[in-house]
Amino acid sequence: MSFKQNNNKTKYSELDFERGNSSFKQKTLSSSISCTGVGLHSGRKINMTLHPAEINSGIVFCRSDSKKEGEIRASWTNVTDTMLATTITNEAGLCVGTVEHLMAAFAGCGIDNAVVELDGPEVPIMDGSAAPFMFLVECAGPTIQSTARRAIRVEKTIRVGSDNNFISLSPASSFGVAFTIEFDTSAVERQFLEMRLVNGAFKNEIARARTFGFAHEVDAMREAGLALGGSLENAIVIEGNTILNKDGLRYEDEFVRHKVLDCVGDLYLAGAPIIGQINGYRSGHTLNHQLLCALFEDDSSWSYVELTNEVVPGTTQKKVPMTTF
């Protein structure tokens, strides 16, 4: 990964972050920072720059390569495609694909406001995880803003899907996940992960998990114009019961961890961190989006709250232990 950094603001220190209530203020980037990578589906070389943004502006994407005007707000209301990745589109028809890993990194770093400038149709895939994006944010340096951070508190259980695959969101005191996947190969089989995503759990336990795919599906995907930039450098590839990547896995259960990563990124399109418990079974981008739609369709199922002592990705409370299973 290559990147360029423009330092023009003071970064906060990790010590300051631990001491005070900075976890509960909005954050943006201290400076702009750039990287170059390949688009997973387009196969194009893409330059991306992350810029600071004003309070309450949210995450906004812009395309420097397109004649179509306008910004693309990172919002569940702008999701237009969830096949193998999440794509958002504005009213002018300008779109950006594969936003979920970057959105997950923003969630994990507690970044509320940023402008993402791209010269291509999708966010570069980098190594297939959220770790390179978290590295970019850390290099740029998050900066604390003056306005309180708000979150979406789940007030009652919402569930979408069927018996074969589903995802639900229930009231809880923090953001937690319980996720199960099943595939008919001994390389994956059934994997389950349950954890509270607080106290750096996303960075330490989830962010490095890479996207994955199956070798027998590659030809069909490329004929459909997908996965043109996919390789063993940016994805785990499974052939039969064998993992083709020579270095193997980063975690024994890397597959389910990546599904959690995708879920965190997709749900950050809510426009604020969520205080609630996720329970997912074979869920993916489509169900993740349907869950947000169902949540916001029912005004009694959620409310906005100012973050004071709740814990969500990007906040820290030393007294709250992280639990992994």
Superfamily of domain 2-149: lpxc deacetylase, domain 1 (3.30.230.20)
What is the second-level CATH architecture of the domain 151-306?
2-Layer Sandwich (3.30)
Three-point CA angle 9, 108, 284, nearest 5°: 140
Q: What is the mean pLDDT of each run of 10 residues along the chain (325 residues)?
A: 44 32 85 98 97 98 89 98 97 97 98 98 98 98 95 98 97 96 96 93 97 94 92 97 97 98 99 98 99 98 87 60 30
Measured distance CA(84)–CA(227) in Å, rounded: 9
List helix spans (H) across 207-269.
Answer: 215-223, 254-267
Same fold, 2-149 and 151-306: no
Q: How far apart are CA 264 and CA 261, in angstroms?
A: 5
Catalytic: which of 101, 258, 285, 289? 285
Q: What is the pLDDT of residue 311?
A: 75
Among 253, 220, 244, which residue's Cα sits nearest to residue 325? 253
Interstrand relation of 25-29 and 142-148 (parallel, antiparallel or unpaired): antiparallel
Rounded to whole angstroms, what are the CA distances from 25 to 16, 97, 128? 13, 29, 30
285 labelled catalytic: yes
**Domain ranges across the chain:** 2-149, 151-306
pLDDT digits (tens, 9 = 90+) for 265-303: 999 999 999 999 999 999 999 999 999 999 999 999 999
pLDDT at position 28 is: 98
